[in-house]
Every structure is written in C-alpha cells, then in structure tokens.
C-alpha cells in the first residue's frame, strides 16, 4: 500500500485494539497452587499496568498497556470464576488434583498431576483436567489399564500409583 493512503494516527494506535483472550467454557477448577498463581499473575499485571499508565505518552507504551490490560481482564475473570478444589487425600481413584504414576506399553514410567486449565504445564508434567490424558485417567484406580488417545496413536497406560498432596 502506498504511504499516501496511511493516516499517521492509524500507525500510532496500531496494536491497541487487541482481541480478548478466549475464556474456556469449562468450569474453572483450580488447585490451591493454581489459585495462588492466578493471584500472583493479577498482582504482577496490575503493577505493570500502573507503571505503564505513568508513561503512556508514546505509542509503544500504549501498545504494551493494551496487552497488560487485556491480560489483566482475563486473569481477573479466571479468578472470579475459580472453583477452588481440594482433593480428598484418601481417595483411591484418580480425581482432580491427583499425581498419577503410570507405565506405558514399553515399560516407561511417567508421572502427571491433574490440574486446572491455567495451571497446566506439560514441561512440569501438569496436565489440564480436560486433556485427553486426564480424561483417560480420571475415575480409575491403581492397577487399572487405560487407553490414552494421542495424535501419535493410541497407547495404553497402567496406573502404578496415585498420590494427593
């Protein structure tokens, strides 16, 4: 596009009209740690928002402020709708909040903790309660063999142990 058709005001405000972060339609179950993480995120975002508001004269600061305010709306909504769930530590079956050790078909041991959507982090072996893995495990007991549907192909897992912290 030719520069003749671009208004300077449009360039200055580019990036300030961001789409909202989508909020899951699922109930927002959270662990105690997950709720604390959301609170910490909200506090950090509010601090950033106040710092950026103090210097909002340039366009790049306005863009950063728009992102921070959008993320703050998302985290605030997640906190408002949070359903704090504390696991029954004597449960003998896999439920929300469980840490589950499994053995796959090849004898490889893995451990996963079933958490809320915002707390999920596969690098920490924390999986969302709505993930296919969690859905396969929930409701089963030690010794049960479950089918885990994966994009790479289905696999079976034997539940070795269940712990609640």
pLDDT tens digits in sequence order for the chain, 165 residues long = 455 555 544 445 555 578 999 999 999 999 999 999 999 999 999 999 999 888 877 888 889 999 999 999 999 999 999 999 988 888 899 999 999 999 999 999 999 999 999 999 999 999 999 999 999 999 999 999 999 998 888 999 999 999 998
Q: How far is CA 42 from CA 4, 22, 68, in A?
A: 42, 17, 10
Contacts of 154 (CB under 8 A, 6+ apart): 147, 148
Q: Residue 2 has what pLDDT?
A: 52
CATH level 3 topology of 98-164: Chitinase A; domain 3 (3.10.50)
Structure tokens at 144: 């049960």
| C-beta of residue 34 within 8 angstroms of C-beta of residue 124 | no
């Amino acid at each position: 596009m030719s520069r003749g058709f671009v208004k300077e005001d449009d360039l200055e405000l580019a990036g300030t009209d961001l789409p909202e972060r989508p909020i899951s339609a699922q109930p927002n179950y959270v662990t105690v740690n997950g709720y604390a993480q959301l609170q910490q995120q909200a506090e950090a975002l509010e601090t950033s928002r106040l710092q950026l508001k103090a210097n909002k004269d340039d366009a790049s600061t306005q863009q950063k402020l728009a992102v921070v305010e959008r993320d703050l709306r998302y985290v605030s909504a997640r906190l408002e709708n949070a359903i704090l769930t504390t696991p029954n530590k004597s449960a003998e079956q896999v439920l929300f909040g469980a840490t589950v050790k499994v053995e796959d078909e090849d004898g490889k041991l893995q451990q996963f903790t079933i958490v809320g959507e915002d707390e999920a982090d596969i690098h920490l072996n924390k999986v969302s309660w709505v993930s296919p893995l969690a859905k396969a495990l929930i409701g089963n007991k030690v010794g049960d063999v479950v089918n885990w549907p994966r994009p790479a192909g289905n696999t079976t897992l034997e539940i070795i142990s269940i712990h609640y912290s």
